[in-house]
Homo-oligomer: A and B are copies of this chain.
Amino acid sequence: MEPLTDPEGVLVANQAFYEAFERRDLDAMSDVWEHGDHVVCTHPGWPTLRGWAAVSGSWFSLFNNQQRLQFIITNERAHVFGDLAYVSCDENLLDAGMGATVASLNLFHRGAGGWRLVAHHGSPVAPS
């Protein structure tokens, strides 16, 4: 079976994730995610964080300590299998000294509240 490739709602959710990230908006970031032991998040170079407590703590830490990041998202592709979908994209960081690309894989689950993140995995792409 090929997945559905009509990604309408999923891409809106993916965009909401990056908007919360750019705005360093903890409330919006919290709304973007499902809250449970099953969520996982791997920031570039970090070990994987498992469970909402660890994941939410990482966003708190990043938003308090890290410089503001701006992205241009490219190569965004969504594939929907029932109530779970994955989005692959490239995060092109614009900030000074950070002209880097992060390869990202985001998983969304569709529940009563719509599509919510259950996994985010970002990894640095080595300069070619």
Contacts and interface: CB of A to CB of B under 8 A. Distances in A.
Q: How many copies are assembled?
A: 2
A114 interface: no
A82 B84 contact: yes
Taking residues whose C-beta sits less than 8 angstroms from the other chain, chain A's interface range is: 35 or more
A79 B38 contact: yes
Given A2-B38, A3-B38, A119 B88 contact: yes
Given A86-B118, A119-B88, A101 B3 contact: no
Considering the complex of A and B, which 3 residue pairs feature the smallest CB-CB distances, nearest first?
A: A123-B123, A45-B126, A84-B84
Interface of A: 1-3, 5, 36, 38, 40, 42, 44-48, 50, 75, 77, 79, 81-84, 86, 88, 90, 101, 103, 105, 107, 109, 111, 118-119, 121-126
29 contacts: A2-B36, A2-B38, A3-B109, A3-B118, A5-B38, A38-B79, A40-B77, A40-B88, A40-B105, A42-B105, A42-B123, A45-B124, A45-B125, A45-B126, A46-B126, A47-B101, A48-B88, A48-B90, A48-B105, A50-B75, A79-B118, A81-B83, A81-B84, A81-B109, A82-B82, A84-B86, A86-B118, A105-B119, A107-B107
